[in-house]
């Protein structure tokens, strides 16, 4: 019995020792993986368009407020994420391809609402230079409370799930165990999603790779016969009122469009650039007068753009085709370029 | 998942230390205390209700239904006349959608354990009862989430005889790791395939989803049992095994001896056997087949309802009741020379029986996957009766 007990004790000790040794290498491995995913030329978007990698990305950006290049973030729903198109053919990817001097992050998630974009932008505004926001409804995903830092007012305003502070503090106390505390960040950095989601999405590729056959989505963009022609088919409005509204009018606008105002304030307070994109027949629409007034009030940091995309540049009447995505990206670069210096 | 929370690990460590530090006679009090703490952390709003259910079970076991009635009247009076909710139901319901039913954490398992306790006391098989022991039994947190369904005398004995040992810690940790592997690495990946039911429309796709679910449900459920058994083992307390390679069963009767063992044995002891005995006292005594059929159907309707009082779970229960009845009739009508032949006991027949049992059980999982109307539609597609 004592021999059995000694054997079990030895096994337990060996297991602990192995974990301790492996754990020593986790921080440097994580740093390399995150640098590779977030700072390299690798196209970035959330695999499977889920929230899994949102928390790790926000943590990374907050810990590294300055990257190797100015940072541009795209917020939006499946249109920004790139439903129906390959990762290399999305709007953010095309934007990245045509402006290699910035680092583009595709924060698009299916069903995303503008409230979610606002909450995320709040936490990372110090770490990005420009944000493009495809404007949707004011709501926010209730899970954000447990994924990113939020305050009590946000929890009340957006009815978020209250974060579990006790569990979070206990996890922080375990901070010496990197394999445990950095598990999510490791998976996000390596796969852009959870390990099981990665396995599920790419199981055919995985088996093919094991068998020695090349597969892949092919990140080369589709051939665009005449990208400039596609760009001409977009209807874009970035006007501003000749004179800013009066104080009373401004107060009324701020009250009625409180979400726009709160969000836009982030840009003006931090001297960053935010471009709000209203997609005709998709986004909640804003009267022309209001849009022009906001552009006058919030220049040069904030721009409200209205874009109409013809059906020929979409896959299903809503989601952009590869040509449509390229035209959209080119339009943004032409009419609402990003902030690339400290001063606008 | 509760078992992977740091909070749960801290709770387990604290309970382990205090359990073995306390004198043996106080162990149940220690477990009861930590069980209450567990409920307070993870299901605070249900704590008053669960506490009262346990008290009701205790009073019934003590033969004091008059006190139970008085308490119920007092609670109703307090609720409707004084606005004081002693059950905590209004607080619990505030967190739920208007049409949701209030169900405390692990309620199905708790309910069966309390029923077992009351019945065994009334039968005279449990002599010494104490409220503290009952609280320890009912609130035992490793088994509170998803079973296994324990038996009171065996549990108390295990608590009294538990010893801290490296062997228990090692075995418990290995069991926990096994459960985590099954759940996190395999079952949760299969769950992603199972989600394809939302858009599966061809027979092949539906079969793929249903097969994935068949494996997923076993791994998921047995993983929770592993976690519960492993956590209990850390405390030196043995709780019953719940799964024993059920998909290797050569017939449906054996399947129910291996699948969710604690539930099927509970149903056998408190539904099947008593209903069979009662039916034997009636005119049906001359028809053992009818008795068996009615007992199986009653038992499995109860098991179906235990999973959920919805048409699809009742359908599933009825399905298994009919399968067992059919197997009973088949065994009864099998000629003796066939039943004793070498061919009948050969490996080929065994494998064929196992495959058939797996097939029948697998298609039976469809009501668990989707609602009643879609179950029938998918069945037709899977068997080529509809496009």
pLDDT tens-digit map of A148-167: 999 999 999 999 988 888 88
Predicted confidence (pLDDT) at residue B38 exceeds the cutoff of 90: yes
Best residue in A1, A6, A8 to probe B by mutation, most B CBs within 10 Å? A8
Residues of chain A predicted below pLDDT 70 = 1-5, 207-227, 340-344
Identify any residues that bridge with A197 across adjacent strands, giving them in sequence order: none
pLDDT at residue B101, rounded to an integer: 47
* Interatomic CA distance for residues B387 and B384, integer angstroms: 7
Mean pLDDT of chain B: 89
Determine, for residues A196 and B192 on separate chains, whether the beta-carbon distance falls below 8 Å: yes
Residues of B near A (Cβ–Cβ under 8 Å) read 5-7, 10, 165-167, 169-170, 173, 184-185, 188-189, 192-193
Predicted confidence (pLDDT) at residue B98 exceeds the cutoff of 50: no
pLDDT at residue A78, rounded to an integer: 92
Neighbouring CB atoms inside 10 A of A100's CB total 10
Q: B361-371, pLDDT tens digit by residue?
A: 999 999 998 88
Smallest CA–CA distance from B184 into chain A, residue: A196
* Interatomic CA distance for residues B199 and B353, integer angstroms: 33
Q: Answer yes or no: are the C-beta atoms of B347 and B242 closer than 8 Å.
A: no
Instruction: Of A190-204, B165-179, B214-228, B256-270, give the lowest mean pLDDT range.
Output: A190-204
Provide the edge-to-edge strand list for the sheet that holds A103-106: A103-106, A71-75, A130-134, A273-279, A302-308, A235-237
Question: Is beta strand A235-237 parallel, antiparallel or unpaired with respect to A302-308?
Answer: antiparallel
The mean pLDDT of B310-321, rounded to a whole number, is: 93
Determine, for residues A8 and B167 on separate chains, whether the beta-carbon distance falls below 8 Å: yes
Q: B66-95, pLDDT tens digit by residue?
A: 777 777 666 666 665 655 555 555 555 555
Residue A212, min C-alpha distance to chain B (Å) = 24
Smallest CA–CA distance from A9 into chain B, residue: B166
* Interatomic CA distance for residues B222 and B144, integer angstroms: 15
Confidence of residue B46 (pLDDT cuts 50, 70, 90): confident
pLDDT at residue A126, rounded to an integer: 94
Q: Which of A11, A170, A199 sits opposite B7 (nearest CB)?
A: A170
Predicted confidence (pLDDT) at residue B100 exceeds the cutoff of 50: no
Smallest CA–CA distance from B183 into chain A, residue: A196
pLDDT at residue B294, rounded to an integer: 95
pLDDT at residue A8, rounded to an integer: 85
Smallest CA–CA distance from B7 into chain A, residue: A167
Is residue B149 exposed (0-12), middle (13-18) or buried (19+ Cβ within 10 Å)?
Answer: buried
Residue A195, min C-alpha distance to chain B (Å) = 9
Which one is predicted more confidently, A5 or B48? B48
pLDDT at residue A7, rounded to an integer: 84
Residue B160, min C-alpha distance to chain A (Å) = 21
Tell me the chain B residues in contact with residue A11 when contact means C-beta distances shorter than 8 Å.
170
Which one is predicted more confidently, B387 or B190? B190
Our measurement of the distance from residue A290's CA atom to the centroid of its chain's CA atoms, rounded to an integer in Å, reads 27
Confidence of residue B308 (pLDDT cuts 50, 70, 90): confident
Query: What value of ipTM does the predicted structure carry?
Result: 0.79
Tell me the chain B residues in contact with residue A196 when contact means C-beta distances shorter than 8 Å.
184-185, 188-189, 192
Determine, for residues B166 and A12 on separate chains, whether the beta-carbon distance falls below 8 Å: yes
pLDDT at residue A337, rounded to an integer: 87
Best residue in A1, A2, A3, A5 to probe B by mutation, most B CBs within 10 Å? A5
* Interatomic CA distance for residues A45 and A37, integer angstroms: 10
Q: Which of B170, B185, B192 sits opposite A197 (nearest CB)?
A: B192
At B296, phi and psi to the nearest 5? -60, -45
Residue B357, min C-alpha distance to chain A (Å) = 29
| Total CB pairs under 8 A between chain A and B | 36
């Amino acid at each position: 019995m004592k021999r059995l007990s000694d054997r079990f004790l030895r096994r337990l000790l060996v297991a602990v020792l192995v974990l301790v040794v492996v754990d020593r290498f986790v921080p440097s491995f994580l740093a390399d993986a995150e640098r590779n995913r977030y700072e390299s030329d690798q196209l970035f978007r959330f695999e499977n368009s889920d929230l899994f990698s949102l928390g790790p990305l926000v943590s990374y950006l907050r810990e590294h407020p300055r990257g190797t290049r100015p940072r541009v973030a795209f917020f939006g729903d499946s249109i920004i994420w790139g439903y129906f198109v390959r990762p290399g053919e999305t709007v953010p990817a095309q934007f990245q391809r045509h402006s290699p001097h910035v680092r583009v992050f595709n924060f698009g998630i299916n069903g995303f609402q503008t409230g979610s974009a606002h909450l995320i932008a709040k936490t990372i505004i110090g770490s990005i230079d420009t944000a493009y926001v495809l404007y949707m409804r004011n709501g926010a995903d209730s899970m954000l409370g447990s994924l990113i830092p939020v305050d009590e007012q946000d929890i009340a305003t957006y009815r978020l799930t209250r974060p579990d502070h006790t569990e979070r503090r206990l996890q922080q106390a375990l901070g010496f165990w990197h394999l445990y505390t950095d598990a999510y960040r490791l998976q996000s950095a390596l796969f852009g999603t959870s390990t099981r989601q990665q396995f599920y999405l790419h199981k055919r590729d995985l088996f093919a790779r094991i068998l020695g056959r090349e597969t892949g989505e092919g990140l080369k963009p589709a051939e665009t016969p005449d990208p400039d022609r596609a760009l001409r088919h977009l209807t874009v409005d970035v006007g501003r009122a000749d004179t800013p509204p009066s104080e009373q009018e401004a107060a009324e606008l701020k009250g009625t469009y409180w979400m726009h105002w709160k969000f836009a304030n982030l840009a003006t307070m931090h001297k960053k650039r935010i471009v709000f994109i209203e997609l005709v027949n998709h986004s909640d629409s804003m009267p022309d007068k209001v849009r022009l007034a906001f552009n006058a009030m919030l220049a040069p940091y904030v721009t409200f753009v209205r874009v109409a995309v013809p059906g020929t540049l979409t896959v299903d009447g809503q989601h952009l085709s590869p040509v449509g995505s390229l035209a959209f990206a080119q339009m943004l670069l032409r009419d609402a370029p990003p902030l690339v210096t400290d001063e606008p | 998942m509760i078992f992977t929370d740091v909070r749960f690990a801290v709770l387990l460590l604290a309970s382990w230390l205090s359990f073995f530090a306390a004198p043996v006679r106080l162990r149940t009090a220690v477990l009861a205390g930590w069980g209450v703490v567990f409920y307070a952390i993870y299901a605070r709003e249900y704590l008053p209700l669960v506490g009262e259910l346990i008290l009701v079970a205790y009073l019934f076991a003590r033969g004091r239904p008059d006190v139970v009635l008085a308490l119920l009247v007092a609670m109703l009076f307090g609720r409707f006349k004084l606005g004081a909710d002693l059950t905590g139901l209004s607080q619990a319901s505030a967190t739920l959608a208007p049409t949701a039913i209030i169900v405390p954490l692990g309620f199905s398992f708790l309910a069966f354990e309390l029923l077992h306790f009351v019945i065994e006391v009334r039968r005279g098989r449990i002599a010494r009862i104490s409220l503290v022991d009952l609280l320890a039994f009912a609130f035992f947190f490793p088994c509170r989430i998803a079973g296994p369904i324990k038996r009171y005398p065996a549990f108390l004995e295990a608590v009294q005889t538990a010893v801290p040992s490296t062997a228990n810690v090692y075995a418990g940790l290995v069991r926990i790791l096994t459960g985590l592997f099954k759940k996190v690495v395999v079952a949760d990946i299969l769950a992603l395939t199972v989600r394809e039911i939302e858009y599966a429309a061809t027979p092949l796709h539906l079969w793929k989803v249903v097969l994935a679910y068949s494996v997923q449900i076993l791994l998921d459920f047995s993983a929770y049992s592993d976690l519960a058994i492993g956590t209990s083992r850390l405390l030196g307390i043995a709780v019953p095994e719940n799964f024993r390679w059920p998909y290797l069963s050569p017939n449906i009767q054996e399947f129910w001896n291996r699948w969710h063992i604690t539930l099927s044995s509970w149903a056998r002891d408190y539904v099947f056997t008593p209903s069979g005995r009662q039916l034997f006292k009636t005119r049906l005594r001359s028809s053992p087949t009818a008795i068996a059929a009615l007992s199986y159907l009653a038992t499995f309707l109860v098991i179906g309802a235990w999973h959920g009082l919805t048409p699809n779970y009742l359908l599933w229960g009825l399905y298994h009741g009919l399968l067992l009845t059919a197997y009973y009739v088949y065994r009864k009508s099998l000629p003796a020379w066939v039943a004793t032949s070498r061919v009948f006991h050969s490996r080929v027949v065994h494998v064929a029986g196992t495959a058939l049992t797996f097939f029948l059980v697998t298609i039976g999982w469809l009501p668990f996957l989707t609602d009643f109307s879609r179950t029938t539609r998918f069945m037709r597609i899977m068997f080529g009766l509809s496009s």
